[in-house]
Amino acid sequence: MGKLSLLVAAGAFALQATACNLIYSASHTFYGWPDNDPASAQTAYDCGRNYTAGGSGTFDDPLTFASAPGEFDPCEVIYSPYVMKYLRMEDTCAQCTTDWNGGNGGFPHIDVWVGNSYGGGGDDQVSCEVELTPQAQSQGLVRYPWDGHTVNSGELYDLDSVTCYPGNLNTGYSIDDYANC
């Protein structure tokens, strides 16, 4: 009976350790081929795409994001109500590291991949990334989300048409609406 109790307690702890939770004030920025270091779709972690950024943003195909080492686990999936996409930590970000380690008070910062994995849109793409970026520390995130949140399948930047899509962002949400994550 003691072993069973121990197993139940261990299982409950494991479940609690991965329970979803909300981050109320994170910074969101955007990056792509032209401002990646080096300029490419190369990522720091292999999360099933052979060190290549991408993804559609669904639960099964999360979009790449970068952050500070240690802020999220490599390959961890989160949900961003602002971009209405599931995101996977596949890369690192210098400014995210500065922000997370206290350079500006210590706060969460993610850098979301836009564009594609085969080329960059140069200055037009970087201008789009700036246009998509909201005020610092103004967006929420869901850690360890369940599958089933609304996903906007629309692109944020299309290299072929050199078009930025800020209308595909969700600016009218409340992070508290995701409390059941």
The domain limits of the chain are: 21-175
Pair 157, 129: CB distance under 8 Å: yes
Per-residue pLDDT tens digits for 68-85: 999 999 999 999 999 999
pLDDT at 143: 98
Residues of the chain with pLDDT under 50: 1-16
How far apart are alpha carbons 153 and 17 in whole angstroms?
30
pLDDT at 141: 98
